[in-house]
Chain A
Amino acid sequence: MFSRAYKTAVTLPPLVWVTVFLLIPYLLMFCYSFWSVSPSQTIVHSWNFANYGQLLRVGVYWQTLLRSMWIAARVTIFSLLLGYPLAYFLSFYAGKKKDLLYQLVIIPLWVSYLVRAYAWKTILGSDGVLNTLLQYLHLTKHPLEFLLYSPFAVVLTLTHIYTPFAFLPIYAALEHIPRNLVEASHDLGATPAQTFWKVILPLSIPGVVAGATFAFVLSLGDFLAPLLLGGPSGIMISNIVVSLFGAAYNWPLGAAISFCMLLLVVTLLVFSERLEKKWSFS
């Protein structure tokens, strides 16, 4: 048994951390979301729901929120479509090359996000690698404008950045499937394809849910990719929050939007945790 003093010493630092850097800021943000800004640019501490009302009334806010969710949803789908086959191949068929390939998937995570986002800018721009190549090959006459400063660019970049996050939990789930279950399935007459649909996929659902949650939540709150590559049509909700807290100096409205996003994300996390539990059998 551990002494009381020891237990306190171990639990106190994280508790202080969570309180100072999470609970208090969230509480402050929550309070701000009910306040308002006076014409003389000072915060008025009067409580009302005006900010939340504005959020629903002014099209640009909820439309941007919906667009952000749509972008995040596409990123999630593409990350899963890329991450799952990769994880499946690595876990079941890579043999001795498994560790090497695993490292190759992980390495991009060690490279700064900013660098990777800029790399896409270089690739997709009108004088970028891709357009230059296409024109050089005479496939196009003029640079393709939709490549950069569009939702397409944002989805592409975020998919590139978050696929490893989707891959990792799927890979872990696949690695945890006892191989004798696969053998049992073959033994009972199931072809490899039947085995995949009836045994491997169902048993890897917790990993898929975790990977999807990562990809969705991380890309929903992203503001760098839309800032660098999104252009006016690729703006996401975080960009609005940033400008509300910055140039627009409307902290209360920014706080209200942030709080809605927080609520959305927490709901998602709770939901995905339930799903994972429902599909885990150990």
Chain B
Amino acid sequence: MTTSETATRSADTPAQAPLLRIQNVAKSFGKNVVLRDISLDVAEGEFLTILGESGSGKTTLLRIIAGFESASAGEVWMGEERLDRQPPYRRRVNTVFQHYALFPHLTVEQNVAYGLRVAKRPEAEIASRVGEALEKVKMSAHAKSKPSKISGGQQQRIALARALVNRPRLLLLDEPLSALDANLRRQMQVELKSLQREVGISFIFVTHDQEEAMVMSDRIALLRSGELEQVATPREIYGRPATAYAAQFIGHTNLLKVEVRAGVVRCGLLAWPTELPDGTAMFSLRPENIRVATGNAALPGTVRIRGSVRHRAFHGATELIRVECGDGTVLVVRTPGAGGALHDVELEFSAADAVLVRESPERI
């Protein structure tokens, strides 16, 4: 299988038979409900990210797939095989643990060889596969070191090699980058992604970092308080967030609580035509979709509002400014960073960029 084939295929949403099928999985610890009714498919060669805040149940879901926890309800299937009835050591799934979990009494090489040794592969095969795996993660030079003698980033690579050397059908990664500092983290994101393309194995990657999720994933499953909020490609989830929570959690946004009456959306002084029925609704409007208005008249389909700049935050290439409009609505706007004093501005956005989102009920 070539790299480009994998890449094209993984970019698509799951086509025919998914590799992994999670069906109505629920989990509770005593009275504490951690997951409710999760259904999710993972395609062959896909990079799926389970994104969520701490306590959202993402690690529990991963541990159910790996077999360290059993689901209170539901099923996990890998192809024709019922996975959730198998002990972890019979599943063709490998895990990269949050704190790597390298065996401290074994050398780097022995750590990587572990899975092949317990599977009683011939020594010659073990040697060549371990060598290959270490080469792939650029750690051949440290083969004889003990894990305590190498850095966090290097341990990370060994954990990866130790899992991949077994050629699992699915690799689970539990916040593997969270212990690394920002620079190394960014570098590892790129490396991990290209490695995944290269080996063509499905990855399920757990993180709380939305940026990381956006950079790496083919699809993101956004988990909130044990329920799936949205499952979509990064582009889709950013451009068309399904819920207010999704819109807020991934990137910056302005959430506008509006009233619809007689085909017009109203939010304070803002108003634009719509086909929605009467009632209340919520819209998400990304800061970069709002601009400082130029020209005299508003074009059709655009909305204009006056306001005064209250705060500016410099973000390098762009600036985020908070604008308080006449009616008290505060809009966050991303502008090309021009600096300058705080002043009154007229803002403009296209009504089509305001995305209707479901209100996310507060959950405890």
Contacts and interface: CB of A to CB of B under 8 A. Distances in A.
A190 B87 CA distance: 10
A184 B155 CA distance: 14
B118 A198 contact: yes
A183 interface: yes
A202 B105 contact: yes
A279 B106 CA distance: 11
A180 B117 CA distance: 19
B68 A188 contact: no
A272 interface: no
Contacts of A199: 103
A67 to B, nearest CB: 37
Interface in A181-229: 181, 183-191, 194, 198-199, 202-203
A180 B101 contact: yes
A183 B118 contact: no
Contacts of A183: 66, 68, 88, 95, 97, 101
B97 A186 contact: no
B148 interface: yes
Contacts of B87: 186
B99 interface: yes
B162 A188 contact: yes
Contacts of B152: none
Contacts of B118: 185, 188-191, 194, 198
Contacts of B103: 181, 184-185, 199
A178 interface: yes
A200 B363 CA distance: 41
B166 interface: yes
B101 A189 contact: no
Give the size range of B's interface with the partner.
Answer: 20 to 34
A187 B146 contact: no
A178 to B, nearest CB: 7
B104 interface: yes
A2 to B, nearest CB: 32
B114 interface: yes
A281 interface: yes
B29 interface: no
Interface in B194-228: none
A188 B104 contact: no
Given A189-B118, A189-B166, A184 B146 contact: no
Interface string A151-194: 00000000000000000000000000010110111111111001
A183 B87 CA distance: 11
A184 B89 contact: no
A282 interface: yes
Contact of A279 (B99, B105, B148): B105
Contact of A190 (B66, B68, B89): B89
A184 B104 contact: no
B146 A281 contact: yes
A212 to B, nearest CB: 19
Contact of B89 (A180, A189, A202): A189
Nearest to A190: B118
B66 A187 contact: yes
B2 to A, nearest CB: 29
B119 interface: yes
B67 interface: yes
13 contacts: A180-B97, A180-B98, A184-B95, A185-B103, A187-B66, A187-B95, A188-B118, A188-B162, A189-B119, A189-B166, A191-B118, A281-B105, A282-B104
Q: Which 5 A-B pairs have the closest CB atoms?
A: A281-B104, A188-B115, A184-B101, A180-B101, A190-B118
Interface of A: 178, 180-181, 183-191, 194, 198-199, 202-203, 279, 281-282
Given A190-B89, A281-B146, 8 more contacts: A187-B93, A187-B94, A188-B114, A188-B118, A188-B166, A189-B119, A202-B105, A281-B105
